[in-house]
Structure 1
Amino acid sequence: MELQHSPAVSHGTTVRATAPAQDDRIIETDIPSRLDHLTWSGFHTRVVLALGITWILDGLEVTLAGALSGALKQSPSLHFSNFDLGIANSGYLAGAVLGALGFGWLTDRIGRRKLFFITLAVYLTATAATALSWSIAIYTLFRFLTGAGIGGEYTAINSTIQELVPARYRGWTDLVINGSFWIGAAFGASSAIILLDPAVIDPDLGWRLAYLIGACLGLIVLVMRMWIPESPRWLMIHGHPEAAEAIVADIERSVLGHTQDAARPNLTTIRLRMRDHTPLTEVARTLFSSYRTRALLGLVLMAAQAFFYNAIFFTFALVLTDFYGISADAVGWYILPFAAGNFIGPVLLGRLFDTLGRRTMITFTYGASGILLALSGYLFSIGVLSARSQTVAWMVIFFFASPAASAAYLTVSETFPLEVRALAIALFYAIGTGVGGVAGPALFGALIDTGSRDSVFMGYLLGSALMIAAALVAWRYSVAAERKSLESVARPLAFLE
């Protein structure tokens, strides 16, 4: 059937349709180009604050799990062992894996905006329930559900931010947002310092109140997200070009005071065949056939950083208490400088990902992290480090490891087509965390229980080897995505010549 023109929706978007089939409609639009040519504005700052706070919540949760470990072991009602804590922390990560997969599929299917409300609601409910735990089984269950909410947040939030932020700011913005995990970590550590001080509050009550902090913060975030729009890029492909145009026009007016001129020579258009969903068979073919080298890269980066981070950070407090004799209520003081180094790394190095490029910086940060961990692990094994010098060593290591880990999420979220972006984030986060993250805390918990520094050193060497291997893979397969539109890095599956 011959295509018939329908009236232009507005601006630079035209819809042609073969009636009556909705899925046959073709759109010619400049929406991606218009979004990428905007300058940074208050709108983008608000998006980053309302959505990027997910990482602050995760940082809060992970830090509390580490900082509260001593209090949970000493709790008269729980009496957790190191192995119990390792299992519970692995349960949190397992929940994040399954939550990412399930919610990631839904994010590509029904939209970004709906999902970031659903996942936040799951997180709020579960983290509040954690404060009521009365046994290791119940505690692990609630931690699992909290992880499911956070895992779902990753997929909806990262895809939304990628699709709303202009191309030239994307690398630095993504790394800083992911690095904001450590703002949550610092907040969690500060809370633990106060709430675990026996002079202030009963420690068995203090750890419960600490978990309620996350729920209270989540309620504030819920209100902040009310005005965040759906991704126009998602809408234009999934049969809602009118809504996409209206949102982009509103964004332009808030940034520029007017809509952009469609005749501007630097605004380009693309042609897309709209669809209401992407079949899973096409998703699998895209990820593991058409983009198999990018899939390999994403998997390796995710797995290496997941093991590196989760194995070390979930057992941070155990190393301090078991090997350096630091009391449980003082652990937070050591997490604060550690968190500072982790946040400063992406802030200072992030812009280099947009200037020197992805390949150079990913290779450098992964390689440096692995080498430094091996060196500090050796010094730990021979007993020459104190609690303070150990913390300084970790600060230096994670100054590089933090942007490296953030770059894994950046790589996966920008190098796959829009229709499968959220599920790609979910899948590689899930596989990477399953391979490198879930086993890590339990493994290190068991190694620490041996009381042998040499055993813990072997665990550090494994993490070091994974990061160095990831650096080599990054040098070979990284994509030059810096300052390029998402559509030029990975053409939408609905793209038409």
Structure 2
Amino acid sequence: MTTRELPASSGATDERIYETDLPARLDRLPWGRFHTLLVIALGITWLLDGLEVTLAGSVSGALKDSPALHLSNADIGLAGGAYIAGAVLGALFFGWLTDRLGRRKLFFITLFVYIGATLLTAFSWNLWSFLFFRFLTGAGIGGEYTAINSTIQEFTPARFRGWVDLTINGTFWVGAALGAFGSIVLLDPNVVSGDLGWRLCFGIGAALGLVIMVMRLWVPESPRWLMIHNQPEEAQRIVENIEKAFRDQGHELPPLTEPPLRLHARDHTPLGEVFNSLFVVHRLRAIVGLTLLTAQAFFYNAIFFTYALVLTDFYNVPSAHIGWYVLPFALGNFCGPLLLGRLFDVVGRKVMISSTYILSGVLLAVSGYLFQQGVLDVIQQTIAWMVIFFFASAAASSAYLTVAETFPLEIRALAIAVFYAFGTGLGGIVGPTLFGQLIESHDRGNVFIGYLIGAALMIAAGLVQARWGVAAERQSLEKVARPLSQAA
């Protein structure tokens, strides 16, 4: 069985219906060189985001001292807001285009936007040029999330999907470590002059982006996207080439056990059907996705964007040394998804997602109380954050996994974009703003209140997942969410 066209039902005019087994053929594949290269070429997007976020915080002192920019604390906060606003709007716009025009076109377009914008950031000449280029950089990264998440989900065999998705999201913290290390070197006045140093820091992202652009040239379009956009022949050609490569490497592919899909041919999905599927048919899934993403966005952005302020204001750490404290923080965040990821496929989504969310909230509340009591020194505080975010990183990564796999193929990228935008807009903007004000009071009790809010949101999200989450482990994407174009 491959892909074949079926006779139209009685009463139909030009409607084309075809039968395909391509999703089952992708899911039966063993893990191989193809998947490894795919993950490296596409998944490195999260490294770029981690790099950008860390650089923005690490070079803040240099931006204030820059003869060209002379940014104030308020200006730096505004730049962070511009980056997040760009990510939100970029995710929505490029997410819609990803479902309409294809995964492959968009992961080149969004990477091109990112490279150009972060390179131009290095040449900023005043506040407004810096804000504009940070907005465009965020737009490129936001668009990358939608195009890349959907592509990786649609190529990865079902039994590996959870671990792969979590590990890829965890590479955000490899980028964070790279940004921290780069800032330590390039902001050292003995190595590079201050004004040139921060410009070279932003050049790191552009250089990496160019390498990634070359790596992506061989990545094909998603056969699942082609299949539901009336291009089954091209989808079949891509899958046959992938299978041939596996057979040439000595792999024996098991027989198919799943029945073929029957699909109506369509060129695009009307927006009315998109919103009906998101907010009516899959209303509970939408609530779960929005809750998970909002809670983790508040939790992460509130703490990570104000991490340096806590260290400098309460522990008197010199701003030039902040990067050294980011490195262990990043290590804990990367190891969480890497080491816990397999459990999301073996133990299951509902148990692991809910438990990591709840445990993260409880640990934050406990460490927040110890901080409020003045029990922890700076090393102990850093270790506490490492432990908390070992679990919180896996939880946050699973939020992206959830929204990427629990909605139909036709609207996958837009679903990621909508919930990423709402979650980031609600949690990612409110969190840092609130924590910034609490830290400005120089009162540990006020900061503890902020920690309790973040903890409560994580625990609430964990309970929502435990009640209404979808057990999507080891199931094909078409079983988790029936395609909108699937025929009876």
Tell me the TM-score normalised to structure 1 length: 0.94
Moved more, 273-282 or 140-149: 140-149
Q: Which amino acid aligns with 1:337?
A: P
Q: For the structure 1 residues 249 and 352, does the alpha-carbon distance in structure 2 shift closer, same or farther, using more than 3 Å as the test? A: same
Q: For the structure 1 residues 178 and 86, does the alpha-carbon distance in structure 2 shift closer, same or farther, using more than 3 Å as the test? A: same
Alignment deviations for residues 3-41 of structure 1 (CA, whole Å, 9 cap, x no partner):
xxxxxxxx511013659x997211100000000000000
State the shift of 1:474 in Å. Answer: 0.7
3-state SS, counterpart of residue 496 of structure 1: coil
State the shift of 1:170 in Å. Answer: 0.3
Are residue 298 (structure 1) and residue 298 (structure 2) matched?
no
Moved more, 321-330 or 221-230: 321-330
Are residue 198 (structure 1) and residue 189 (structure 2) matched?
yes
Alignment deviations for residues 99-133 of structure 1 (CA, whole Å, 9 cap, x no partner):
00000000000100000000001101111111122
State the shift of 1:259 in Å. Answer: 12
3-state SS, counterpart of residue 481 of structure 1: coil
Match of 2:479 in 1: 488
3-state SS, counterpart of residue 482 of structure 1: coil
CA distance in 2, matches of 1:462, 1:271: 48
Alignment deviations for residues 303-340 of structure 1 (CA, whole Å, 9 cap, x no partner):
00011111111222222222222222211111111111
Q: For the structure 1 residues 38 and 22, does the alpha-carbon distance in structure 2 shift closer, same or farther, using more than 3 Å as the test? A: farther
Moved more, 327-336 or 29-38: 327-336
CA distance in 2, matches of 1:180, 1:23: 47
Indicate conservation of the 8 Å contact 1:252/1:258, yes or no: no
Question: Alignment partner for residue 143 of structure 2, among 152, 155, 168?
Answer: 152
Q: For the structure 1 residues 23 and 393, does the alpha-carbon distance in structure 2 shift closer, same or farther, using more than 3 Å as the test? A: farther
CA distance in 1, matches of 2:400, 2:111: 20
Are residue 396 (structure 1) and residue 366 (structure 2) matched?
no
3-state SS, counterpart of residue 385 of structure 1: coil
Q: Which amino acid aligns with 1:135?
A: N
State the shift of 1:149 in Å. Answer: 0.3
CA distance in 2, matches of 1:493, 1:477: 22
Are residue 432 (structure 1) and residue 429 (structure 2) matched?
no
Q: How do residues 17-416 of structure 1 correspond to structure 2 at under 5 angstroms? A: 24-257=15-248, 264-416=255-407
Indicate conservation of the 8 Å contact 2:93/2:143, yes or no: yes
Q: For the structure 1 residues 392 and 22, does the alpha-carbon distance in structure 2 shift closer, same or farther, using more than 3 Å as the test? A: farther
Match of 1:4 in 2: none
Match of 1:3 in 2: none
CA distance in 2, matches of 1:327, 1:252: 55
CA distance in 2, matches of 1:17, 1:119: 40
Indicate conservation of the 8 Å contact 1:22/1:239, yes or no: no
3-state SS, counterpart of residue 373 of structure 1: helix
Indicate conservation of the 8 Å contact 2:296/2:396, yes or no: yes
3-state SS, counterpart of residue 19 of structure 2: strand
State the shift of 1:260 in Å. Answer: 10
State the shift of 1:87 in Å. Answer: 2.1
State the shift of 1:76 in Å. Answer: 4.4
Match of 2:3 in 1: 13
State the shift of 1:452 in Å. Answer: 2.5
State the shift of 1:258 in Å. Answer: 9.0
3-state SS, counterpart of residue 410 of structure 2: helix
CA distance in 2, matches of 1:265, 1:207: 55
**Gapped runs of 5+ residues in structure 2?**
none
RMSD: 2.0
Moved more, 351-360 or 369-378: 369-378
3-state SS, counterpart of residue 317 of structure 2: coil
Q: For the structure 1 residues 402 and 171, does the alpha-carbon distance in structure 2 shift closer, same or farther, using more than 3 Å as the test? A: same
Q: For the structure 1 residues 262 and 201, does the alpha-carbon distance in structure 2 shift closer, same or farther, using more than 3 Å as the test? A: closer
Alignment deviations for residues 447-474 of structure 1 (CA, whole Å, 9 cap, x no partner):
3233222222222221111111101101
- What percentage of aligned pairs have identical amino acids? 64
Q: Which amino acid aligns with 1:486?
A: L
Match of 1:8 in 2: none
**Gapped runs of 5+ residues in structure 1?**
1-10
Moved more, 130-139 or 350-359: 130-139
Tell me the TM-score normalised to structure 2 length: 0.96
CA distance in 1, matches of 2:402, 2:216: 25
3-state SS, counterpart of residue 229 of structure 1: coil
CA distance in 1, matches of 2:62, 2:307: 14
Match of 1:462 in 2: 453
3-state SS, counterpart of residue 372 of structure 1: helix
3-state SS, counterpart of residue 200 of structure 1: coil
Indicate conservation of the 8 Å contact 2:28/2:254, yes or no: no
State the shift of 1:187 in Å. Answer: 0.7
Count of residue pairs brought into register by the alignment:
486
Moved more, 113-122 or 373-382: 373-382
Q: Which amino acid aligns with 1:401?
A: A
Q: For the structure 1 residues 104 and 83, does the alpha-carbon distance in structure 2 shift closer, same or farther, using more than 3 Å as the test? A: same
3-state SS, counterpart of residue 44 of structure 2: helix
Indicate conservation of the 8 Å contact 1:366/1:404, yes or no: yes
3-state SS, counterpart of residue 452 of structure 2: helix
3-state SS, counterpart of residue 24 of structure 1: coil
Alignment deviations for residues 146-194 of structure 1 (CA, whole Å, 9 cap, x no partner):
1100000000000000000000000000000000111111111110110
3-state SS, counterpart of residue 467 of structure 1: helix
3-state SS, counterpart of residue 350 of structure 1: helix
Alignment deviations for residues 193-245 of structure 1 (CA, whole Å, 9 cap, x no partner):
10111221222221111011000000000000011000000001101111000
Indicate conservation of the 8 Å contact 1:86/1:445, yes or no: no
